[in-house]
Structure 1
Amino acid sequence: MDPAQLPALMAFDSVARHGSFTHAAGETGVSPSALSQTIRALETQLNVRLFNRTTRRVALTEAGAQFLERVRPALAALDAAFDSLDEARDHPAGTLRINLPRVASELLVLPHLAEFTLAYPHIRLELALDDGLADLVGEGFDAGIRLGERVAQDMVAVPLSSEVRIAVVGSPAYFVRLPKPGTPDDLAAHNCLRYRFLTSGGIYRWEFAQPGNAQRVFEVETQGSFVTNDLRTMVRAAEDGVGLLHVIDDYVREQIEDGRLVRVLGEWCPSFPGFYLYTASRAQMPLKLRALIDFLVMKRREREGR
């Protein structure tokens, strides 16, 4: 390999991850047009098209995907080699890429982000908000955060929260128009705000448990006039009286306490294992990841008074 091609390969990896020249340009610190020229020059040198481009989308070609699969581990190894120089001096540093859902970001990370960045100024923290299940290794992530029930058993997982509980909520104005549901079957007569997964395209089915028997969890397929893939938008719609929302109760605790949202079906709403940070292996865990884990575990202990 010509060492002069290394910047182009790094640019190639960035465009592939972001699926956008504009977003990749923000990461690499060059203009989108300069980045596009770099990729075209690389394609000319390799004599192969790496991306299919339209005015709205940038996607890997089959050859580009195969090339990326072989290049990405080498780039990751180079990045790790540079990070190891700092780690040899017991100095956590480098880019730390975490894949997590919005609810985990807003509840567990964002409240402490300023403190973390001040404590570890040489760590570049990149959060990829994704409610699906990412391929950590294949997509170049150092770790992920998910509810315990969604973490594969072969992963190394560290708990970041206690159990979480589901809440079904609606606004006072909504319940002026419609009676409160007494059982999940009553939801058939209600407008339910529905969440669509971007990765699978499926609609989330609301989960409930038989009162007095939390182990008997079952799913309900709801109907409603509004579907989105953004939880914050769903909360706003619920506050505005559009419909009922099924969500982790910590995410709407403030709205419940101040009366903007009213909880219903409480005895039918189960608890689930809390959030875990997970990674593929503990072997030679980089200091930057160990620093984040220790920090988030410390924040959990502070929240729970331990």
Structure 2
Amino acid sequence: MRREELVDLNAFLTVAEARSFTRAAAVLGTSQSALSHTIRRLETRLGVRLLTRTTRSVAATEAGERLLATLRPALDTIAAELTSLGDLRERPAGKIRITLTDHAAENLVWPRLVPLLREYPDIHVELSIDMGFTDIVANRFDAGVRLGEALAKDMIAVPIGPEVRMVVVGSPDYFARHPAPRSPQDLGTHRCINQRLASSGGFYAWELEKDGREVRVRVEGPAAFNSSRMVAGAAVAGLGLAFAMEDSITAELANGRLVRVLEDWCPPFAGYHLYYPSRRQPSAAFSLLVEALRWRG
């Protein structure tokens, strides 16, 4: 097999798993037009159509699925062998791609990675901020960071933080104009700041719990965001109540710019975990990253 043929096969695998030329081009660090040319060249050489393309999606044909079934284990074996060869270096090295939320990146992951990257200059980490649930295998991420209750069962999960808590908060200015809610049902009479979920496209229903009783509340209000920081900022501005991660607004709670309500309806729950496929063969660099992030509280 010629070297360029292996490159073409890897390009096909990336497009097929990402189901998008745009996403695959970003992963491979090339342009859409160059990637389309590569796939057409491979299809011409093989004499079969490997992908069906529409304006909205890309899917493998029957021939493409047969090729994928052979390619996946073969390229995984090559990747594992390259990883083991890398471990023979004197210093751990390699690129590690992680998908995570902005809250996890800013409050947990990045502060712990800074010392690691200073000590091991040949380790390179890419943090991709994403509020949805990214398929780390299809999108070629080495790992992801999500709350423990949201993890798939076939993943290895390593706790990297303590339990967390969501809190209902508002500004003193807001409570000067509106009485504080005493129960989740009272939220229906309040102006609340909504947050849109990337995974479903809908607004997040506030999840409250007390004495084993769980309540999900759909709220309405003057503003909505897909950023947790913007939600908290709108609450500080007095526009309404917000449902925010407690450790992301510690400064606002300490200086009194935000005030907690319904505290007995906001119990702690499983915190952030680093997760990765169970079949992944960890490199020396990846093992160092896991240990740097592991929660030891």
TM over 0.5: yes
**Residue 288 of structure 1 is aligned with which of 281, 285, 288?**
285
SS of the equivalent of 2:165 reads strand
Find the aligned partners of 1:8 and 1:233 in 2 and give their Cα distance.
43
**Residue 61 of structure 1 is aligned with which of 59, 62, 65?**
59
Judged with a 3 Å threshold, the aligned counterparts in structure 2 of structure 1 residues 125 and 13 are, in CA distance, closer, same or farther, namely farther
- Structure 2: 5+ residue runs without aligned partners? none
Find the aligned partners of 1:188 and 1:124 in 2 and give their Cα distance.
48
Aligned residue number for residue 194 of structure 1: 194
Shift of 1:2: 4.3
Contact 1:83 1:93 in 2 (8 A): no
Aligned residue number for residue 264 of structure 1: 261
Shift of 1:290: 1.3
Contact 2:207 2:214 in 1 (8 A): yes
Shift of 1:100: 2.5
Q: Percent identity?
A: 42
Shift of 1:250: 0.6
Letter in 1 for 2:51: L
Listed as ranges, the matches of 1:195-274 within 5 Å are 195-210=195-210, 213=211, 215-274=212-271
Judged with a 3 Å threshold, the aligned counterparts in structure 2 of structure 1 residues 134 and 28 are, in CA distance, closer, same or farther, namely closer
Listed as ranges, the matches of 1:1-306 within 5 Å are 2-13=2-13, 17=18, 19=20, 21=22, 28-30=28-30, 33-46=33-46, 47-48=48-49, 50=51, 52=53, 59-63=57-61, 66=65, 71-89=71-89, 91-210=91-210, 213=211, 215-281=212-278, 284-297=281-294, 300-301=295-296
Judged with a 3 Å threshold, the aligned counterparts in structure 2 of structure 1 residues 112 and 14 are, in CA distance, closer, same or farther, namely farther
- Structure 1: 5+ residue runs without aligned partners? none
1:23-48 superposed Cα distances (whole Å, 9 cap, x missing partner):
76565455555444334433443442
Shift of 1:265: 1.7
Find the aligned partners of 1:256 and 1:293 in 2 and give their Cα distance.
32
Shift of 1:189: 0.9
TM-score, normalisation: structure 1: 0.79
Judged with a 3 Å threshold, the aligned counterparts in structure 2 of structure 1 residues 145 and 243 are, in CA distance, closer, same or farther, namely same
Find the aligned partners of 2:251 and 2:70 in 1 and give their Cα distance.
48
Contact 1:208 1:217 in 2 (8 A): yes
Judged with a 3 Å threshold, the aligned counterparts in structure 2 of structure 1 residues 116 and 68 are, in CA distance, closer, same or farther, namely farther
Shift of 1:296: 0.9
SS of the equivalent of 1:80 reads helix
Find the aligned partners of 1:116 and 1:193 in 2 and give their Cα distance.
38
Shift of 1:87: 1.0
**Number of residues paired by the alignment?**
293
Shift of 1:102: 2.7
Q: Quick check: 30-39 or 94-103, which moved more?
A: 30-39
Letter in 2 for 1:262: V
Find the aligned partners of 1:40 and 1:271 in 2 and give their Cα distance.
53
1:275-305 superposed Cα distances (whole Å, 9 cap, x missing partner):
12223327743323211110112xx45xx5x
Shift of 1:84: 1.5
SS of the equivalent of 1:61 reads strand
SS of the equivalent of 2:204 reads coil
User: RMSD value over aligned CA atoms?
Assistant: 3.2
Contact 2:27 2:139 in 1 (8 A): no
Shift of 1:161: 1.2
Find the aligned partners of 1:20 and 1:236 in 2 and give their Cα distance.
36
Shift of 1:271: 0.6
Letter in 1 for 2:101: P
Letter in 2 for 1:141: F
SS of the equivalent of 2:109 reads helix
Find the aligned partners of 1:289 and 1:151 in 2 and give their Cα distance.
20
